[in-house]
Amino acid sequence: MPRTVLIVDDDPLTVDQFARMLRLEGYHVVAASDGAEGLQQALLTRPDAMILDLRMPIIDGAALLEQFRSVSQLRDVPAVIVTGDYSLDEATLDRLRALGAQVQYKPLWIDDLVGIVNTLLRIEKA
């Protein structure tokens, strides 16, 4: 059974590209376009890993991750925060790390994305 990856990003093009790349590698992908939908999808699917956009309206990726960490069944799901914001301050980076998230910068190519997910899931490349 394939591992499930949840992608939450308000940019439909990013969601589509990430989902395609991961499906090509055999992952089951669940996607959401905002934080509320992301939380609902996470509760329904119990993903094995999560990719969250940092900058989203209403609920940003950090606030969403805080919500995930407060739910027992999602508390330990590995997560990566992706952003195109190369000027994140140390306080933001510290907050994300304290929530157990890796931080990666867009753009991500297929090898980058697959490597990140494999690392989150601790899958060795054959």
pLDDT reported for residue 125: 47
Q: Where are the beta strands (DSSP E) in the chain?
A: 4-8, 28-32, 49-53, 79-83, 101-105
Residue 65 lies in a domain: yes
Residue 125 lies in a domain: no
CATH at 9: 3.40.50.2300
The answer to whether the pTM exceeds 0.75 is yes
Residue 58 lies in a domain: yes
Q: State the burial class of residue 26 (Cβ atoms within 10 Å of its Cβ: 0-12, 13-18, 19+).
A: exposed
Residue 36 lies in a domain: yes
Residue 40 lies in a domain: yes
Residue 93 lies in a domain: yes
Q: Which domain holds residue 76?
A: 4-120
What does each of the 126 residues of the chain score in pLDDT, given as a tens digit?
A: 899 999 999 999 999 999 999 999 999 999 999 999 999 999 999 999 999 999 999 899 999 999 999 999 999 999 999 999 999 999 999 999 999 999 999 999 989 999 999 999 986 544
Residue 126 lies in a domain: no
Domain count, the chain: 1
Rounded Cα distance between 5 and 28, Å, is: 6
pLDDT reported for residue 1: 80
